[in-house]
């Protein structure tokens, strides 16, 4: 847990630091921490520990922590109701990120396998297939030993699964999933990374170096359509793209274990995707990094996890620019405007007390769930 007293003491020592002031909005304390005046903290759902994965699908929010997968009914998004949960084998440290589902089955990687009767036991890693059609009674229905990678992503309506490091799982029969004897990255510039995301049916964006757009209509023979790379070879953590016709890729990196921010810290990035069909390339436009400050200005004086971007999500109305919510660990949730030319401007923020925000999800066009490693879920209202 974060040592609040120690951090506040550190803030006094570095109070003279010049902090980033990208937003003109005023700031102040809120019941959940500190926020700009265009972000309202509404409530808090305490979970166990290390919650960072989630998906919003058809009126339900699916999320996990170190011990379980949970399903929340979003009829009242300000007061979500927990309707079902399933216990998972406990991981030794971090729960898995970016869990994926089509609302019928869910795929969850885990570094602890289960025994033949699906009860937790020690062993190698496994991918778990969970039946979530009955929201009140989700249940593990199968597993694939050796199928756990850092993230697993549904492809073609969860009939197939791609792992972040290259594995392919055939889930056409969810009761008998099969680990395919080949990898999706064979013959490609990047065969694995941190995450893959199906941004349109049959099209996958890879969070790799280089970034890749793949046609996966034949999941066993993906085709490279376009790519882009950073000259510094930086680590790519997250890739999002509203659709194949939007002008901008929204990418992020990750650099941890840094108590101070500097110019080499991981950035949130915009990439030009306006000509990919003609040039088969993406090119970075702008990047945005966190700085340290005085807490009152929305920037912590020091960091425990690191000055790093993590998971982000575009506003439902994002089209060739607009608002993006992004998680930045101790810097909390930042609301970022992407202009029509791809330039990045911070417009608001919420920094939780003793928190470390790992992921954010738009539940409506103004309600955001910020999933925190320490706190659980903070429910925010964007008023920008």
Q: Provide the 10 A C-beta neighbour count for residue 92.
A: 7
pLDDT value for 20? 37
Nearest Cα to Cα of residue 152 among 180, 174, 177, 127: 127
> Which alpha helices (H) appear in the chain, and where do they start and end?
4-13, 276-279
- Average of pLDDT values for 196-220? 98
Q: Is the pLDDT of residue 161 over 90?
A: yes
CATH number of 56-192: 2.130.10.10
Over residues 205-220, mean pLDDT: 98
Asked if residue 28 has pLDDT above 80, the reply is no
C-alpha–C-alpha distance, residues 42 and 333, integer Å:
14
Higher local confidence (pLDDT), 9 or 263: 263
Q: Tell me: pLDDT of 253 over 90.
A: yes
Each residue of 361-370: pLDDT tens digit?
999 999 999 9
* pLDDT given for residue 288 in this prediction: 97
Query: What is the pLDDT at residue 11?
Result: 38
Q: Residue 124: is it exposed, middle or buried by C-beta count within 10 angstroms (0-12/13-18/19+)?
A: exposed
How do the domains of the chain map onto residue ranges?
Answer: 1-52+230-384, 56-192
Rounded alpha-carbon distances, angstroms, from residue 25 to 43, 128, 297, 380, 383: 22, 45, 10, 17, 12
pLDDT exceeds 80 at position 26: no
Q: 30, 23, 29, 34: which is closest to 348 by C-alpha? A: 23
* Residue 259 burial (10 A CB sphere; 0-12, 13-18, 19+): middle
Q: Which band of pLDDT confidence, cut at 50, 70 and 90, is reported for residue 5?
A: very low
C-beta separation of 348 from 298 below 8 A? no
Q: What is the DSSP string of 295-328?
A: STTSS-SS-SS-S----EEE-TT-SSSEEEEEE-
Banded pLDDT at 25 (limits 50, 70, 90): low
| Per-residue pLDDT at 38 exceeds 60 | yes
Q: For 130-139, what is the mean pLDDT?
A: 98
Dig out the tokens for 384 from the structure: 């920008």
Asked whether the predicted pLDDT for residue 21 surpasses 60, the reply is no
The pTM is what?
0.90
pLDDT above 70 as % of the chain: 88
pLDDT interval class at 123 (50, 70, 90): very low
Q: What pLDDT, on a 0 to 100 scale, did the predictor assign at position 112?
A: 57
2 or 70: which leads in pLDDT: 70
pLDDT top residue among 248 and 257: 248
Q: What's the pLDDT tens digit per position in 171-186?
A: 999 999 999 999 999 9
254 pLDDT above the threshold of 80: yes
Q: How far is CA 338 from CA 223, 228, 250, 285, in A?
A: 30, 19, 9, 11
pLDDT value for 90: 66
42 has pLDDT over 50: yes
Q: Which residue has the higher pLDDT, 6 or 337?
A: 337
- Which carries the bigger pLDDT value, residue 343 or residue 96? 343
């Amino acid at each position: 847990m974060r040592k609040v007293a120690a951090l506040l003491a550190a803030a006094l020592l570095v109070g003279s630091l010049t902090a980033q002031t990208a937003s003109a909005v005023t700031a102040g304390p809120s019941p959940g921490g500190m926020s700009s005046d265009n972000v309202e903290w509404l409530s808090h759902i305490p979970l166990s520990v290390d919650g960072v994965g989630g998906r919003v699908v058809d009126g339900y929010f699916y999320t996990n922590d170190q011990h379980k997968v949970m399903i929340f009914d979003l009829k009242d998004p300000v007061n979500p109701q927990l309707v079902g949960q399933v216990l998972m084998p406990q991981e030794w440290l971090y729960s898995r990120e970016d869990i994926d589902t089509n609302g019928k089955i869910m795929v969850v990687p885990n570094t602890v396998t289960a025994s033949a009767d699906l009860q937790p036991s020690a062993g190698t890693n496994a991918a778990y297939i969970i039946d979530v059609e009955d929201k009140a009674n989700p249940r593990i229905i199968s597993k694939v030993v050796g199928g756990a990678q850092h993230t697993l992503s549904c492809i073609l309506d969860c009939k197939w699964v791609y792992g972040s490091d290259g594995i392919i799982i055939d889930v056409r029969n969810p009761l008998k999933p099969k680990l395919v004897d080949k990898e999706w990255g064979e013959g490609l510039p990047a065969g694995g990374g941190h995450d893959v995301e199906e941004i349109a049916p049959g099209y996958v964006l890879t969070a790799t170096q280089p970034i890749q757009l793949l046609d996966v209509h034949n999941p066993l023979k993906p085709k490279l359509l376009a790519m882009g790379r950073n000259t510094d070879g930086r680590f790519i953590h997250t890739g999002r793209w509203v659709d194949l016709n939007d002008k901008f890729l929204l990418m992020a990196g990750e650099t941890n274990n840094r108590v101070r921010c500097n110019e080499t810290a991981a950035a949130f990035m915009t990439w030009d995707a306006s000509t990919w069909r003609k040039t088969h390339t993406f090119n970075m436009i702008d990047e945005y990094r966190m700085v340290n400050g005085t807490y009152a200005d929305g920037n912590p004086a020091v960091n425990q996890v690191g000055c790093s971007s993590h998971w982000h999500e575009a506003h439902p109305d994002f089209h060739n620019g607009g608002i993006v919510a992004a998680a930045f660990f101790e810097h909390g949730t930042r609301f970022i405007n992407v202009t029509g030319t791809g330039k990045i401007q911070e417009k608001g923020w919420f920094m939780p007390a003793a928190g470390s925000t790992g992921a954010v999800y738009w539940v409506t066009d103004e309600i955001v769930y910020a999933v925190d490693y320490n706190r659980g879920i903070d429910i925010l209202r964007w008023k920008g």
